[in-house]
Amino acid sequence: MLDSSPARQATVLVVDDDADIRDLIIGQLHQENYRLLAAASLAELRRTLKEEAVDLIVLDLNLPDGDGLMLCRELRAEGADVQIIMVTARGSAIDRVLGLELGADDYLTKPFEPRELLVRIRNLLRRGRSDPAARPAAARFARFGPWRLDLQQRRLVAPDDSLVMLSSAEFRLLSRFIEEPNVVLSRETLVPERRATAAFDRSIDLQVSRLRQKLATVPGGDELILTVRGEGYVLASGVEQL
Amino acid sequence: MTGMRPVQRIRAFFGTMAGQIFLILTLGMSVAAIIALLVAEQARHHDFERVRRARVVASAVDIADRLQRDPARVEAMMANHRIVGAAMAPAGVALSDTDAELESILTERLGRRSQPEAGQVPAGLCFPSGNRERAAGVIDAPRPDCWIVRFTDVRGARRAMALSFPRLIKPPSTIFNPAYLLVIVAASAGLAILVARSVAKPLRRLERAAEAFSLSLDPEEIPERGPEEVRAALSTFNLMQRRARAGFAERTQLLAAISHDLQTPLTRMRLRLELVDNADLRERLLADHQAMQTLVREGLDLASSTESREEWSVIDIDSLLASMAEDAEDLGAPVRFVSGCGGTVRVKPNALTRCIANLVDNGVKYGGGADISCTRSGGRLMIDVRDHGPGIPADQIDQMFEPFTRGPSSQPGGRHGTGIGLTIARSLAMSFEASVRLRNAPEGGVVATIDMKG
């Protein structure tokens, strides 16, 4: 099979020091149309990267000859745009935040659902192809009005450094506003993954009103999210990534 | 303490060790001081009596001596009151109240055969009534003491004399003067307070340290200051604290290591399960795998819950409780945020979130839902998570915090889960110096309370 086919076959490199796990993952990935490579150590991984064009690495962090995190950082420093999914046992000294900060594109903990791995690989490869520069800069905070939104811990930080907690829905909502400040967003665009029904519209209104209440607890925090009659809502503030 | 009535506060004070030491020392020292004063008073009284008798003895012996040398002249002088302080005793006076002690001293001085009789009598007997008119202006003067002494002299004649002396007035006793008693009691109380405080202070430090240790596994060591015994106790406490911490850390590391290493075989097993063709078998194996995986995950949670690397932050407590309830509701769990308490609290936010999440999970799992509420009282902040289940038998409530304890299997929802959720919750609470309690609500259901400084 050559690269001449319109949908170029993606190359996936599976790195794990446990031979069984490596083979089993590769066995799973066989049902997809990928070219599959395997490596058992950092040395093998580096050699393979020199010889082959790899689109995505499934990277176990604990390898006999070194730490996958360091490799991840090295690759990013070299400017490699290979996609990386980190796979690690829970309770390792690394958490999701650190992994993503060091340049991983996604993160899975062992033991994982095999289907989950397939879905994430598929998503990453699709995203990577259509929009190679879409990897978000790992900003920690977004500042708007008197508030800072902690993008990693998913909570609001007041000017006096006290914290205001957000529900997942509120965080999603606020993140959307922050992605597009000063733009009027319709109810449908605010939560696109759900169908916009009348009941759902009401729940969006409820969430916006809760969010407003939370934002209004510090001076200058009211009138950040404005209602545009018949159209939707707008975040009336500049946003600065920190 | 602030809301107590004075009576209750006093009772509470005497329930403390300082209070009891204070009471014992104040009473004891006051009683001891008063007894000592009484003994001194008694001695003073004896001395006074001795001096009084010594005067009588000296005078009587002197007159007896003179009578022996020149009976006729001395008798005449006495009859004419020419000896100051000594006269012939008027005849016919009965000595109703003889002084036995004085008589025994006189026997010694005047000889075995003298058979003395002596006693104090009204002053008038020493001074026949006619005398008083001659002494103008002395009516109100203290009248002299008058003693009658009778004895048999060496010639066998019975002599009787009236001896008079200037009155000796015993100074009044000062012991029962209220001001004096007050000084004694006040001095005792003052000393007692000093002692009670100095004894109670190191104990208080120890108590505070023990309390800190019960709330957090990582408290500061107590400075080893004070008297030797106190230093020894504090040092032993610190040692115990270090050992407990080391033991606990070892246990945690072991748990973490085992749980961690189980993840690799579990991963292999999960991947291999995809290769099982028999759908029924595969389903059962997946359920088993899931159970094992949950156990491993919670084991790791428990291990990591004791390490509190998270920073302290000030959070808006109601925003946390409300958002947790919303998140649970979004996932379809019947969780409500009932009432908040406003304001902020200083905690480790992620630990608190996970702690509440564990309690809420329990409420949903065993009690069919959870109501979250928050109250403040007396500088404490309490978060209640109440379920709507049948409650826990009273004798089993304490066991619920032991790892791998579940509700009874008869109970709906009993006997599944790992039974480690409450242990994790308590351990997490300790990391931000809070405690978790369980109780049955009077109106039904179990209330789990996180109690923290607020």
Beta strands B313-316 and A163-165 are parallel
Q: How far is CA B51 from CA A205, B118, B161, B329, in A?
A: 108, 16, 20, 101
Whether pLDDT at B141 is above 70? no
> What architecture (CATH level 2) is domain B216-301?
Orthogonal Bundle (1.10)
Residue range A10-32, pLDDT digits in tens: 899 999 988 889 999 998 888 88
Whether pLDDT at A163 is above 80? yes
The interface residues of chain A toward chain B in range 17-76, judged by CB-CB distance below 8 A, are: 18, 20-21, 24-25, 27-28
pLDDT of residue B87: 81
CA distance A29 to A32: 5
pLDDT of residue B426: 87
Other beta carbons within 10 Å of A159: 13
Strand-pairing partners, residue B82, are none
Q: Which CATH class for the A141-241 domain?
A: mainly alpha
Residue range A102-133, pLDDT digits in tens: 778 888 888 888 888 999 898 888 876 544 44
| Tally of residues, chain A | 242
ipTM field? 0.72
Tell me if the bond preceding B116 is cis, omega within 30° of 0.
no
B308-453: CATH topology: Heat Shock Protein 90 (3.30.565)
Whether pLDDT at B33 is above 50? yes
CB hemisphere CA count around B424 (13 angstroms): 28
CA distance B360 to A167: 15
Kindly state the average pLDDT of the residues A180-201: 69
Residue range B300-342, pLDDT digits in tens: 888 877 766 788 899 999 999 999 998 888 888 899 999 998 8
The answer to whether residues A182 and A238 touch, using CB atoms and an 8 Å cutoff, is yes
Q: Residue B113, Cα to own-chain centre: how many angstroms?
A: 68
Beta strands A83-89 and B313-316 are unpaired
Beta strands A155-157 and B313-316 are unpaired
Strand-pairing partners, residue B164, are B146
Name the superfamily (CATH) of residues A10-130.
Answer: Response regulator (3.40.50.2300)
pLDDT of residue B352: 92
Does residue A137 or residue A66 have the better pLDDT?
Answer: A66
pLDDT of residue A133: 44
Q: Which of B328, B397, B330, B316 is nearest to B356 (CA)?
A: B328
CA distance B295 to B286: 14
Q: Give residue limits of the domains in chain B.
A: 216-301, 308-453
Residue range B245-265, pLDDT digits in tens: 888 888 888 888 888 788 889
pLDDT of residue B317: 93
Whether pLDDT at B21 is above 70? yes
Specify the range with the lowest mean pLDDT, choosing from A183-197, B44-58, B194-208, B240-254.
Answer: A183-197
Kindly state the average pLDDT of the residues A208-215: 90
Structure tokens of B412?
């709906």
Which amino acid makes up residue B155? R
Cβ-based contacts of B340 with chain A (< 8 Å): none
pLDDT of residue B321: 94
What is the three-state SS of B90-109? CCCCCCCCECHHHHHHHHHH
Which candidate in B272, B320, B323, B348 is best for mutational testing of the A interface (most A CBs within 10 A)?
Answer: B323
Whether pLDDT at A93 is above 60? no
Question: Closest Cα of chain B to A129: distance in Å?
Answer: 28
The answer to whether residues A2 and A9 touch, using CB atoms and an 8 Å cutoff, is no
Residue range B227-242, pLDDT digits in tens: 788 888 888 888 888 8
Q: How far is CA B16 from CA B7, B21, B205, in A?
A: 15, 9, 15
Kindly state the average pLDDT of the residues B369-393: 90
CA distance A45 to A18: 14
The answer to whether residues B308 and B431 touch, using CB atoms and an 8 Å cutoff, is yes
Question: Closest Cα of chain A to B389: distance in Å?
Answer: 26
Which amino acid makes up residue B118? A
Whether pLDDT at B130 is above 60? no
Query: Which residues have C-beta within 8 Å of that of residue B180, sequence separation ≥ 6?
Result: B174
Q: Give residue limits of the domains in chain A.
A: 10-130, 141-241
Burial class (CB in 10 A: 0-12, 13-18, 19+), B69: exposed
pLDDT band (50, 70, 90) for residue A165 = very high
Cβ-based contacts of A170 with chain B (< 8 Å): 323, 326
pLDDT band (50, 70, 90) for residue B109 = confident
Q: Which of A3, A6, A12 is nearest to A125 (CA)?
A: A12
Residue range B171-213, pLDDT digits in tens: 777 667 788 888 888 888 888 888 888 888 877 888 888 877 7
The answer to whether residues A217 and A164 touch, using CB atoms and an 8 Å cutoff, is yes
Q: From B342, which residue of chain A is nearest by alpha-carbon distance?
A: A217
**Which range is most confident: B66-80, B372-386, B405-419?**
B372-386
Cβ-based contacts of A114 with chain B (< 8 Å): 270-271, 274
CA distance B13 to B17: 8
DSSP string, B211-238: HHHHH-SSPPPPP--SSHHHHHHHHHHH
